[in-house]
């Protein structure tokens, strides 16, 4: 571990010198690349330097304790030594986490798809509730949200809703939301007061650039049709809705939320790129025999990950056994406590399985 930290610190110093070189500054691509690498190394290097400082404090304290000291001063030095040892242990843990291999998608924007599953209208209503929850969470994080496609129901639910969230680290925070979300509550449409169980599926895809996924126009079948559903005055007037079929994979994407056919096509292509990227990633993972799957979850859409029990005000994340009795706050976008626990569990699993050592 410490060899890697030394290499990181040396590289950090080397980049620091290069960033003041006029030749580098004039080469925008190289300058941007080095600035990004410098920024990625900064947190690790600062933590390593803090580690070395605490190590020196411990060494100095031990030296002082070898000398003749009066009782009060000796007690003070001993207390400082214990404090530094505890601090060193915490910094070591933090360094191990910082050295874990980074998910290359962590800093990307995300495309989120929410679909009603089992439970009919009640599932569609809960899909709408989850859409609101993620919208409020994005707002708290000062992230930008854009609706890409939706299929609303007559009483305010969504059969499906697809949206983009733009913001630093959006994927790193939301990637564990993929899976089946189960709701247990008395539906508004239920007169006898019986608790129903419904499900909603959530898929979180990293947004990808054109350069990351090459799409051959000959592989696409593009159809236009009239938008339908509860959507305002322009609905059913023009053929502005777009359906794109990617023939080699059979992936079908529709988009009908914009008045403009061009904008709908643009949004549909954005969703298609992310779906193809996800498919390629999954294929790559299955081909690599030693690919590791975190216990936190594989992000599989068929995996039941969380239950929202309204009568008991309870939300349980089944992957990590976390239960919180604050359903109103969670449905209002207060989901950081769950996300932080999932990230911590994922890091602990990677540390426990020796991911860092095996990655070299």
pLDDT for residue 105 is more than 90: no
pLDDT of residue 163: 92
Q: Which helix (H) or strand (E) holds 183?
A: strand 179-185
Q: Which CATH architecture has domain 110-207+295-352?
A: 2-Layer Sandwich (3.30)
User: Tell me: the pLDDT tens digits for 117-141?
Assistant: 888 888 999 999 999 999 999 999 9
Q: Residues with Cβ < 8 Å from 164, sequence gap 6 or more? A: 109, 110, 111, 112, 145, 146, 148, 207, 270
Question: How confident is the model over 138-175, as pLDDT tens digits?
Answer: 999 999 998 988 888 888 899 999 999 999 889 999 99
Strand partners, 220: 246
Top mean pLDDT of 53-57, 224-228, 286-290 is at 53-57
CATH for 2-98 (3.40.50, 1.20.58, 3.30.450, 1.10.10): 1.20.58
Question: What pLDDT is attached to residue 202?
Answer: 93
pLDDT for residue 8: 87
pLDDT at 67 over 60: yes
Domain ranges, ordered by start, for the chain:
2-98, 110-207+295-352, 213-286
Cα separation, 206 vs 209, in Å, equals: 10
Cβ pair 241, 267 in contact under 8 A:
no
Q: Return the higher-pLDDT residue of 18 and 235.
A: 18
Domain 213-286 has CATH 1.20.120.530: no
pLDDT of residue 262: 85
State the pTM of this model. Answer: 0.65
Say which residue, 130 or 233, is predicted with more confidence.
130
Q: What angle do CA 276, 279, 284 make, to 5 degrees?
A: 125
Please say if the pLDDT value at position 355 is more than 60: no
Q: Give the model's confidence band at 295: pLDDT under 50 very low, under 70 low, under 90 confident, else very high.
A: very low
pLDDT of residue 293: 43
- Helices (H) and strands (E) counted in the chain, each on its own, are 10, 11
> What confidence category does residue 290 fall into, taking pLDDT thresholds of 50, 70 and 90?
very low
pLDDT of residue 301: 52
Rg (CA), the chain: 26
**Terminal-residue alpha carbon distance, the chain:** 9
Half-sphere exposure of residue 29: CA atoms within 13 angstroms, side-chain side: 0
Backbone angles phi, psi at 238, to 5 degrees: -135, 160
């Amino acid at each position: 571990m410490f060899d890697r930290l030394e290499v990181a610190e040396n590289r950090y110093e080397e980049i620091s010198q290069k960033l003041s070189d006029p030749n580098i500054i004039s080469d925008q691509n190289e300058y941007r690349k080095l600035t990004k690498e410098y920024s990625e190394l900064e947190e690790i290097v600062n933590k390593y330097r803090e580690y070395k400082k605490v190590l020196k404090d411990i060494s100095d304290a031990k030296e002082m304790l070898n000398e003749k000291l009066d009782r009060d001063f000796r007690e003070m030095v001993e207390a400082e030594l214990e404090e530094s040892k505890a601090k060193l242990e915490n910094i070591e843990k933090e360094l191990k986490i910082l050295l874990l291999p980074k998910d290359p998608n962590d800093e990307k924007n995300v495309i989120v798809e929410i679909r009603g599953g089992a439970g009919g209208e009640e599932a569609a209503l809960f899909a709408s509730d989850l859409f609101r929850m993620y919208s409020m969470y994005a707002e708290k994080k000062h992230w930008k949200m854009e609706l890409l496609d939706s299929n609303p129901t007559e009483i305010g639910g969504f059969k499906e809703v697809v949206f983009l969230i733009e913001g630093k680290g959006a994927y790193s925070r939301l990637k564990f939301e993929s899976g089946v979300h189960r709701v247990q509550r008395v539906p508004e449409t239920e007169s006898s007061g019986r608790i129903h169980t419904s499900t909603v599926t959530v898929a979180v895809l990293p947004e990808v650039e054109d350069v990351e996924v090459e799409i051959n126009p000959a592989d696409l079948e593009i159809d236009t049709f009239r938008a339908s559903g509860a959507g305002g005055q322009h609905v059913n007037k023009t053929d502005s809705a777009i359906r794109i079929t990617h023939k080699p994979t059979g992936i079908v994407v529709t988009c009908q939320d914009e008045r403009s056919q061009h904008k709908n096509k643009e949004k549909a292509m954005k969703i298609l790129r992310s779906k193809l990227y996800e498919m390629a990633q999954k294929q790559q993972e299955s081909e690599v025999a030693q690919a590791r799957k975190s216990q936190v979850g594989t992000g599989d859409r068929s995996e039941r990950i969380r239950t929202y029990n309204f009568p008991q005000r309870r939300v349980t994340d089944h992957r990590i056994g976390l239960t919180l009795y604050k359903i109103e706050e969670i449905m209002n976008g207060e989901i950081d406590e769950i996300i932080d626990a999932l990230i911590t569990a994922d890091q602990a699993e990677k540390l426990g399985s020796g991911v860092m050592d095996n990655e070299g």
